[in-house]
Amino acid sequence: MEISSIRSNRSDIQMVETEYDHVRPIDDDEHVSEAVIRAVAAVSGRSPLALSPLQDFVDVDALDLLFASSTVVEELRFTYAGYNVLVEPARVHVRQERR
């Protein structure tokens, strides 16, 4: 897992969005881990139940806790089921892993 930051400059945010195949907001009543699974399912065209368990790629409890309780973390990047995932406090970005 790699934790990095993103500049608050609006043009940087737009550039990040264009690098990804899918951007999905995280609902107020939704765990971040659920949003990641749903976003990857939408991009892959598979059911969330057909995906590999997210727990095999990232500590799900830590992921949910990190974004539920932190205002310091701006983003988290990791690979899940063949997709690059960028999680921000309000949204999940997904793109197919480039090899």
**Beta strand pairing call for 83-87 and 2-4:** unpaired
Q: Does 10 score more than 50 pLDDT?
A: no
| Nearest alpha carbon to residue 39 among 80, 67, 3 | 80
Task: Assign 3-state DSSP to the chain and report helix, strand, coil percentages, each to 5.
Answer: 40, 25, 35
Cβ neighbours of residue 34 under 8 Å, at least 6 residues apart? none
Q: Are 20 and 94 in contact (CB under 8 A)?
A: yes
**Which domain covers residue 8, as residue numbers?**
2-96
Give dist(CA 33, CA 41) in Å, integer.
12
How many domains would you assign to the chain?
A: 1
pLDDT in tens, 38-65: 999 999 999 999 999 999 999 999 999 9
Q: Is 13 helix (H, G, I), strand (E, B) or coil?
A: helix
Cβ neighbours of residue 76 under 8 Å, at least 6 residues apart? 1, 2, 3, 63, 66, 67, 86, 87
14 — pLDDT class (breaks 50, 70, 90): very low
Amino acid at 84: N
pTM assigned to the model = 0.79
